[in-house]
Structure 1
Amino acid sequence: MWSFGLLGAFRVECDGAEVAVGTPQMRTVLALLVWHANEVVPVGRMFDELWGEVPPPSAKVQLQGIISRLRRVLGKERIATAATGYVLRAAAAELDVELVRQDLAAARGLIAGGDVALGATRLREALGRWRGPADVHLTEPVAAQLEELRMTVLEERVDADLMLGGTADLIGELTAAAAAHPLRERVRAQLMTALARRGRVPEALDVFLAFRRTMVDELGVEPSEQLRALHARILRGEPVARPALPLPRKAHQPRQLPPALPDFVSREELLTELADVLTAPRREHGPLVVVSGAAGLGKTALVVQLAHRVRERFPDGQLFATLRGDDTMAVLQQFLRALGVPADLVPAAEDECSALLRDLLAGREVLLVVDNAADARQVRPFVPAEPGCAVLVTSRRTLGELEGARLVRLGLLDAAESAELLTNIVGVPPGDALVAHCGGLPLALRIAGALLLDHPHWTVDDLAARLADERTRLDWLEAGDLGVRASFDASYRQLSQSHQMLFRRLGLLPATTVPGWLAAALLDIEQTGAERVLEDLVSWHLVSTAGDGTTIRYGMHDLLRCFAAEQAEPEQGAVLTRAVGACLAMAESMAARLPADGLKSASGTVPDACDPVAWFDTELPTLQAVVETATVRGMAEHAWELDSLCQRYFDHRGHNDG
């Protein structure tokens, strides 16, 4: 078993034997990766730590060499390459820092539950993991954060000792800590408390006065109100009360699931399958299910329906929260409070909250529902180690990078399911046109139903007529706090500039599906780069795929296309010009390679991607759609050129197929 030690001299061991890491630069890079274990460390951060603000021209090559040598020492799978940097994969048991965090979280749980003595013991064990001062090869920020962690553990252990009535043994320890950390207020408060309880009131008052001088001289501020209040109590001769022991915590059983939709329809097969996953006997790890899909597909409704179906399997509680932006920490704290942790004992660091959550879930059967996760990084802090617990996640991304997850890509409702949902809402059959305009999107269908209920003088045909025009369809698909446009916009705003650009420009193309080369033309980049952007959009469920291998094409839901076209309206002329130019260039190249009259491709074989006949077979619908659009948008000459190239293909086909 491997172990990585940062608490003292940096040390790497394998099966108890120390492993030589190599050069100081290798130790610096590895220490940085260990501190950020299982997180991507950007290349730029490594440059800064190795060479400061001005890295040498060969910095990238040198760093690659360092990583290569580290992989030879640790095994090539230990350090993975990410898009922006590198990540060290390590289990919690392999990291002494992570063991301290687990000790701290467990101690907080014990103290919150009333077992202060055992909590104090656990904190002493955590402090005992330090083997000395920080290694000289650690970067200054890492060394500072390690010292902050040590002081946090020390202060919480002192608080526990004060709760238990201890003072005599604390004074020397706190005096040394105060000298080492002259601006740390909590240590001063603890030292003042310990001195006052021992009857050494003048010394306690001197501690405050010395600290106040330091704060005013160095920072220009007064001590906090809490420390001033403690000083006043000691000055008045009032006893400094022993901190109250927390009462034993009751077994909180939160029931946070929102109500299930009464008119939920279809997806019965999927619900049954996932219910079996969540309730199946297990020995090691609880299930983690991620339901992903585009905005408005009903992911939350499905997961809530599923959670209610299996809630009896999780008698110790069901937790539910919606992530909004980067608020993982807030949701972790919400869950901890729901599980009975007093607000003043909830940790202030995300990793500590996560560790405490795992500790509280130990031996319990709790269902956690995390709605609207942006990425895997947001989900990992909620995943317990207990086999009795389960986690349900919804996301607009697939989250394929989330380890051990059961991934479910939610699809659109078919016409029959859409009609059933609308009928359940409004009580009358909706008609084919209205169903078609909603495109199988549950959010659009629910809004359509709400509009019909809000406007009883409208018929189904009236609403269908209002939705018929794609240019104004999204204007109508709003009802109260529900809106298709707003839902799509939330996904759009999370994209990078290049992803936004391609998404909105795709909305202006007249073709139903497009190939990678046409997307490349819209971004003016190489096709491989454009396909990477496209695949990211696929992962976000903003673009769909058809075909496979070299014939993959990319499409977009009709309502998403309406939204994308709205965003791209100022670029309309430029986008069409790019599309027409790209189609002309490709069609000219392929038309020039059409076989001479009377010659055919080898019969009985599938033409390869460069076969001009196969290319025209595939791309003809796109070319014809571009011709039609260019004709009505004032680009008749280019439209005629492209149509002529298509005619050469028709002539060839007519000669060989006649």
Structure 2
Amino acid sequence: MTSSRGRLTKRLKVGRDAGCGPASTASEELDRMAARRNGRGHARPRPQSPQLGHSRRTSLVLLGDFTVCDGTGSPVRLPLAGQRLVALTALHGAPLPRHLAASRLWPHLPSVSARGSLRNAISGLQAACPGLIAADASTVRLADTVDVDIWQREAQALRVLQRDGGDPRAEEPFEGMPLLLPAWEEEWVAVERLRLQELLLYAHEAQAARLLRRGEFALAVAAVYEVLRVDPLRESAAQLLVSAHLAEGNRAQAARCYLEFRGRLHAALGIEPSGDLRKLVAGLLRTGSGQ
């Protein structure tokens, strides 16, 4: 079975500007992510999380509903255009040229009008939440004093995927698969939503595979079901699920899981499981009953 990190090396896409780019390994993506957070092009220290006592930091939540809390933990109401600008700069992760921000947020407007709308959005943010956005004559970015939940979630996922780096935090519980701004329909948000979801799927699979190797079958199965809940047709997850039941000696359950997955795959796409998955259950199923 191909490892989750191996599949990530082949398929994980980076490059937030265009929503596409060269494939990257987990360690390369972590380095790149750290560099993007620093406008000068080199990694700056990762911000401390608010629960560690740095209460003056602003927090930005992008997983689920958009939320900004000031240094006291109180929610801050932002105008709609300001919310879009804050989210765009957070997802970009580095100083964003003003003309690109304007064209991304107001693609239907002439460039002069779009830049004017950007200036108004920046002014509104500086009035509503001073210190949230840093802007100069040519760029706009998220301030260094802002903690962003998606950055922390990405870092956690990448630690799981690059476990051979020896970081003990890779053993931290990794649960849930929240969606990035699920109510937002902008294309630049949708691209990031899919990228993050794919990263989290790989991380859950990597965690499940690690638990399976350690013989922690119940936890492995739970991690696999997190993946299948999001993508019921993901064959790599189905393969892990069948493998976990076989390793525990639950052959009937392994066969049932295979047949259920095969049924979903055939109903949705009209195709059969791969040879690798079929080999796992070879000998368990009667001739003509689903192989």
TM-score under structure 1 normalisation?
0.29
Which residue of structure 2 aligns with residue 86 of structure 1?
A: 140
Q: Work out whether residues 37 and 89 of structure 1, in 8 Å CA contact, stay in contact via their aligned partners in 2.
A: no
AA of the residue aligned to 1:236? G
Distance apart, 1:66 and its partner CA: 0.6
- What residue in structure 2 maps to residue 201 of structure 1? 254
| Cα shift at 1:23 | 1.9
Establish whether residue 232 from structure 1 lines up as the match of residue 232 from structure 2. Answer: no
Q: Which runs of 5+ in 2 are unaligned?
A: 1-56, 285-291
Matched, 1:100 2:153: yes
After the TM superposition, which residues 37-48 of structure 1 pair with which residues of structure 2 at under 5 Å, given as runs? Answer: 37-40=93-96, 43-44=99-100, 46-48=102-104
Question: For residues 267 and 99 of structure 2, what CA distance do their matches in structure 1 show?
Answer: 39
Q: Secondary structure at the residue paired with 1:64? A: helix
Partner of 1:73: 128
Corresponding letter in the other structure for 1:205: Y
CA distance in 1, matches of 2:137, 2:235: 41
Instruction: Name the structure 2 match of 1:496.
Output: none
Amino acid at match of 1:94: D
Letter of the 2:113 counterpart: S
Q: Which residue of structure 1 lines up, in the alignment, with residue 287 of structure 2?
A: none
From 47, 69, 72, the equivalent of 1:13 is 69
Q: Report the CA distance between 1:207 and its aligned residue.
A: 4.2
Asked if 1:155 is matched to 2:202, the reply is no
**Residues 145 and 106 of structure 1: is their aligned pair in 2 closer, same or farther, counting only changes over 3 Å?**
closer
The separation in 2 between residues aligned to 1:149 and 1:37, in whole angstroms, is 17
Cα distance between partner residues in 1 of 2:89 and 2:257: 43
User: Are the equivalent residues in 2 in contact too, given 1:127–1:153 (CA < 8 A)?
Assistant: no
What is the identity percentage for the equivalent residue pairs of Structure 1 and Structure 2? 20
2:164 maps to amino acid: A
Is residue 2–residue 12 contact of structure 1 (8 Å, CA) maintained in 2? yes
Are 1:58 and 2:113 an aligned pair?
Answer: yes
Q: Does the CA contact (< 8 Å) of 2:159 and 2:169 recur in 1?
A: yes
Question: In the alignment, does 2:92 pair up with 1:36?
Answer: yes
> Hey, what's the Cα distance between the residues in 1 that align with 2:150 and 2:161?
17
- In 2: Cα distance, 1:236 partner to 1:127 partner: 35
Q: Is the 8 A contact 2:76 2:129 kept in 1?
A: no
Asked which structure has the greater RCO (Cα within 8 Å, sep 6+), the reply is: 2
* Aligned partner of residue 218 in structure 2, secondary structure: coil
1:186 counterpart letter in structure 2: S
Structure 2 counterpart of 1:204, one-letter code = C
Distance 1:142 1:101, change over 3 A: closer
1:388-446: per-residue Cα shift (whole Å, max 9, x none)? Answer: xxxxxxxxxxxxxxxxxxxxxxxxxxxxxxxxxxxxxxxxxxxxxxxxxxxxxxxxxxx
- 2-side partners of 1:15 and 1:137: how far apart? 26
User: Does the CA-based 8 Å contact 1:4-1:96 persist in structure 2?
Assistant: yes
Paired with 1:101 and 1:61, the residues of 2 have a C-alpha distance of 33
Post-superposition Cα deviations, 1:135-156, rounded to whole Å, max 9, x if no partner, equal 3247322333333333233222
Q: Is the 8 A contact 1:37 1:90 kept in 2?
A: no
Tell me whether 1:112 sits opposite 2:164 in the alignment: yes
How many pairs does the alignment contain? 221
CA shift in 2, pair 1:55/1:213, >3 Å: farther
* Cα distance in 1 between the residues matched to 2:235 and 2:60: 32
After superposition, where does 1:229-378 map in structure 2 within 5 Å? 229-236=276-283
Distance 1:35 1:64 in 2: 20
Return the offset for 1:173. 5.4
1:568-617 Cα distance to aligned partner (Å, 9 max, x none): xxxxxxxxxxxxxxxxxxxxxxxxxxxxxxxxxxxxxxxxxxxxxxxxxx
By how many angstroms is 1:65 displaced? 0.4
Give the conservation status (yes or no) of the 8 Å contact 1:29–1:46: no
Verify the 8 A CA contact 2:134 2:141 in the aligned structure 1. yes
**C-alpha contact (below 8 Å) 1:178/1:187 kept by paired residues:** yes
CA distance in 1, matches of 2:195, 2:140: 21
Question: Where do residues 513-592 of structure 1 align in structure 2 (5 Å cutoff)?
Answer: none
- Say whether the 8 Å CA contact 1:205–1:235 is kept in structure 2: no
CA distance 1:121–1:232, change in 2 (3 Å): same
- Kindly indicate whether the alpha-carbon contact (under 8 Å) linking 2:242 and 2:255 is maintained by their aligned counterparts in 1: no
SS in 2 for 1:18: coil
